[in-house]
Chain A
Amino acid sequence: MEVDTLKEENNIDRLKCDLGLLSRPDGSALFTEGQTVVLAALYGPVEVKMQKVLVEKASIECIYKPKAGFPCVQDRFKESFIKNICETSLAVSLYPRSTILVNIQEMQNHGQLLSCAINAACMACLDSGIDMKFLFGSVSCFLMKDGELSLIPPVNESSIKGMFVFVFNNTKGEVIASHTEGLFTAEQYHDALEGGRQMGVAAYVKRGTRSPFVCHLSLSERRGGTRRHDNDMLLPLRPELGDHPGYRAMFF
């Protein structure tokens, strides 16, 4: 288990990730953004229910569990959002007549729940070694009443005018999904998009150069779809892995 802690000087929240935490799922990840924590686990490809079977590709199911209480309509929305993103990024046509189950468990919410859940889902996919077309990463961006943009949720909730959640792919850094809250102008949307992308890149690039996180990613890439059991595989910091696809994968 490796934990990466990184506090950027210029307003990005602390990101942490822990892969392979659970023993039963094919892939699992605990993702932390600041004080928001989400646990994701992935099973798949597994046997499909009769009514969900698709002949030309795998069907993806996402189950979102809130911290307390029963899932409500808002959680259904998150499920469908994450499901659509996974459908875009996973190589679903390689697994016809099967299903991929993505389970998301909210642990702590401090404002960036949706982006954190999306990142956790990506890390769980990566950990499972399932074939993907590209990786995705999500950033929450908060628009304050004074027009400023921040990637950290403000302490005072009433100062928020709007919120943006962007999901980028790692190949070209294009937007694959977007969700917004509140009122904003077209310029503000563009600023947030640009800022979110740059901050996302900055966070992942910096982490890439000196953290054990990247080694871990490289290992997941090399594992080629098989489950890791050997703890010796969890190597300490290996900067020479910098050129490995797993490393580049994190540039989005």
Chain B
Amino acid sequence: MAEQYKTLHSAKYYRDYLKNDIRPDCRQLSAFRPVIINVDSIKTADGSAIVKIGRTTVVCGIKAEICRPKPETPRQGFLVPNVDLPPLCSSKFKSGPPSDQAQVLTQIIADILENSRCINLEQLCIFPDKIAWCLYADIICLDYDGSLIDACALALISCLKVVTLPEVEYDPGLDKQQVNLEKRSPLNISCTFVATTFAIFDDKLILSDPSSEEENLSAGTLTVVTSDEELCYMHKPGGSPLNEEQITKFISICFFKLSVILRNIATY
């Protein structure tokens, strides 16, 4: 019976639960889903991470290639994030060129990366104006169950922390390079960013870490990205209006989550 009720009146089904301060998946309104991070599981990549937030699953792999730096930034390498939402992860996506949502997500992840300044691109330069590392961070969603920005950001930062690059010897006179695959060194990551998404249900109820169903039913989301002591992204694309008090509350929750995640990341 509950099954039919859920399909026919999904909004009301949720409202009945939320009235009693509980969500259909037995979470409290402000509770997060369990987070699992697994790093370096893909041996063919220079660094990789698999992140699960509830059922949302995201894989991030970083491949390094040698390329020539841009003439305007001769001392910098590149870090190119790309988010892929294949039809495998949800029926919402079709195969073919990247969907609008995938492109928007790619831009958001690139913005977070740039805003947080967690990586100094100068460390990717091998020889100024000649050769530099170009890191391709491919983020692939395997299971779409909401809060995708959170999962992608977490996968990317976990992945960046385990990337190792081989040593390269470059002879500018001969324009020859020698890659020593045996000797690898990690990157210097100056901060850790953590994204937290909230959904606004019926203009007043706030659901932390929404599942995809909750995202669909709610009238807007807000994503806050915290990086150590500071904020680096406040993304609210339309939806229900919010006042200052609510925003303050969100920010404090996010700093709390950051501390929890940091403790977890520190263990590997």
Contacts and interface: CB of A to CB of B under 8 A. Distances in A.
B236 A175 contact: yes
Interface stretch (B51-59, B85-93, B99-107, B259-267): B99-107
A185 B231 contact: yes
A77 B103 contact: yes
17 contacts: A79-B100, A80-B237, A81-B238, A84-B237, A84-B239, A87-B238, A162-B115, A177-B237, A180-B115, A181-B111, A182-B115, A183-B116, A183-B117, A183-B227, A183-B230, A183-B232, A189-B231
Interface in A34-80: 73-74, 76-77, 79-80
A110 interface: no
Contacts of B242: 174-175
A181 B115 contact: yes
A161 B243 CA distance: 25
Given A181-B111, A185-B231, A190-B244, A76 B237 contact: no
B234 A88 contact: no
B81 to A, nearest CB: 11
Interface string A175-202: 1111111111110011001100000000
A55 B116 CA distance: 41
Nearest to A81: B237
A80 B234 contact: no
Contacts of A98: none
**Secondary structure of the B side of the interface?**
mixed
A182 B237 contact: no
Interface residues of B, number: 35
Contacts of B237: 80-81, 84-85, 177
Given A77-B104, A178-B234, 13 more contacts: A76-B103, A162-B115, A164-B234, A176-B240, A177-B236, A177-B239, A180-B231, A180-B233, A180-B235, A185-B230, A186-B251, A189-B247, A189-B251
B107 A76 contact: yes
B182 interface: no
Interface residues of A, number: 35
A88 B111 contact: no
B201 to A, nearest CB: 15
Interface centre among A77, A174, A194 (most CB of B within 10 A): A77
B241 A175 contact: yes
A46 to B, nearest CB: 20
B232 A182 contact: yes
A164 B247 CA distance: 15
A172 interface: yes
A184 B230 CA distance: 6
Interface of B: 100-101, 103-104, 106-108, 110-111, 114-117, 220, 222, 227, 229-244, 247-248, 251
Contact of B234 (A77, A172, A179): A179
Contacts of A180: 115, 231-235
A112 interface: no
B234 A189 contact: yes
Contacts of B231: 180, 183-186, 189
A201 to B, nearest CB: 15
Contacts of B239: 84, 88, 176-177
A185 B230 CA distance: 5
Contacts of B230: 183-185
A175 B239 CA distance: 10
A88 B100 contact: no
A99 interface: no
Nearest to B251: A186
Interface string A152-177: 00000000001010010100101111
Contacts of B238: 81, 83-88, 167, 176-177
A87 to B, nearest CB: 6
B5 to A, nearest CB: 20
| The 4 A-B residue pairs with the shortest CB-CB distance in the complex, in nearest-first order | A84-B238, A174-B241, A77-B107, A84-B237
Contacts of B116: 183
Contacts of B114: 181
Interface in A67-121: 73-74, 76-77, 79-81, 83-88
